[in-house]
Amino acid sequence: MESEALRKIRTMRQIKTSLDVARSQKLRTTNSLSKTKEEIEHLESLTDSQLEQVMERERKHFIALDASVEKSKERVIKSREKLAATINKNRTLTELRHELQRARWEGKDPTLPKAEQPNPEQNLRQMELRY
């Protein structure tokens, strides 16, 4: 059975703010009420002569912002990779140092191959017990 409590939850994308509602409504001023439909259509069809230049400038600005964001993402990725490489190197060095210390405690020479390692029991003095 599905949970009834979670069905009614709305995300931020589903909720309209009062600003969004106001933007979608047409303003009802005294001046707009006195215009005819033809006059409204004519006024809405008029455009600024420099509109294309402004729009092109805005497109270039938007493209530049996107390129800047992508470049920043690449920098973050590179810095993360560099940091990960440093962390991996340090982890490997720490493991090697622990291994060398363990070998020293066990009495083995870490520079010699394992086949030539001396037996730590041979280094102890042999004592004979007499009763």
- Quick check: 36 and 44 in contact, CB under 8 A? no
- Quick check: 118 and 108 in contact, CB under 8 A? yes
Domain ranges for the chain: 52-108
- Quick check: 60 and 68 in contact, CB under 8 A? no
pTM of the model: 0.45
How much is the CA Rg of the chain, to the nearest whole Å?
A: 39
At residue 41, does pLDDT exceed 90?
no
Instruction: Return the structure tokens found at 11.
Output: 């995300």
pLDDT band at 16 (very low <50, low <70, confident <90, very high): confident
- What would the pLDDT profile of 102-125 be if each residue is shown by its tens digit? 888 888 776 656 555 555 555 555
- How far apart, in Å, are the Cα atoms of 120 and each of 25, 97, 103, 123, 124? 90, 21, 11, 5, 7
What stretches of the chain adopt beta strand conformation (E)? none
- What would the pLDDT profile of 55-73 be if each residue is shown by its tens digit? 999 999 999 999 999 999 9
